[in-house]
């Protein structure tokens, strides 16, 4: 099944980095906006379960809202994360995804918390 959003693969890669514990890579991806690598690691530790990558082969369950008037285009995106213990969990990653002027997408990690 194909992705529903053109930036879905970038979000999937970010989730995979979190699952591998590569918090510094996530911080670099979002240019350290809002959450540092240490804050991401602390949020995952506090949740107390082991993150795993999103299931392959199906679109991510993204909750996407376009940010009105953003230039270039931008979206507020919420996505659940998955754990080895629970499968799809109630731990939610909140992002701002921005279209990059030279193509591709930039991601800012806004929050990581239980919804």
- Segment 52-93, tens digit of pLDDT: 999 998 889 999 999 999 999 999 999 999 999 999 999 999
Q: What is the mean pLDDT of residues 102-111?
A: 92
Closest CA to 93 of 5, 30, 31: 30
Is 83 part of a structural domain of the chain? yes
Is 2 part of a structural domain of the chain? no
Which of the four pLDDT bands, split at 50, 70 and 90, describes residue 1? very low
pLDDT of residue 69: 94
Is 52 part of a structural domain of the chain? yes
Distance CA 33, CA 53 (A): 23
Tens digit of pLDDT for each residue in 7-40? 999 999 999 999 999 999 999 988 778 889 999 9
Expressed as residue numbers, the domain containing 44 is 8-114
2 pLDDT above the threshold of 70: no
Read off the pTM: 0.91
- Residue 104 phi, psi dihedral angles, 5° rounding: 80, -165
Distance CA 115, CA 91 (A): 6
Which of the four pLDDT bands, split at 50, 70 and 90, describes residue 3? low
- Kindly report the three-state secondary structure assignment for every residue of 30-43: CCCCCCCHHHHHHH
Is 108 part of a structural domain of the chain? yes
Is 78 part of a structural domain of the chain? yes
Strand pairing class (87-99; 74-83): antiparallel
Is 33 part of a structural domain of the chain? yes
Is 3 part of a structural domain of the chain? no
Is 37 part of a structural domain of the chain? yes
- At 94, list the tokens: 């909140």
Count: domains in the chain: 1
């Amino acid at each position: 099944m194909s992705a529903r959003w053109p930036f879905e693969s970038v979000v999937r890669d970010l989730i995979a980095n979190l699952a591998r514990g590569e918090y510094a890579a996530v911080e670099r991806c979002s240019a350290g906006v809002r959450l540092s690598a240490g804050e991401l690691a602390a949020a995952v530790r506090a949740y107390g379960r082991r993150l795993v990558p999103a299931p392959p082969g199906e679109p991510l369950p993204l909750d996407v809202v376009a940010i009105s008037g953003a230039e270039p285009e931008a979206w507020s995106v919420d996505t659940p994360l998955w754990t080895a213990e629970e499968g799809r969990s109630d731990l939610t990653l909140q992002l701002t995804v921005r279209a990059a002027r030279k193509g591709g997408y930039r991601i800012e990690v806004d929050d990581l918390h239980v919804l």
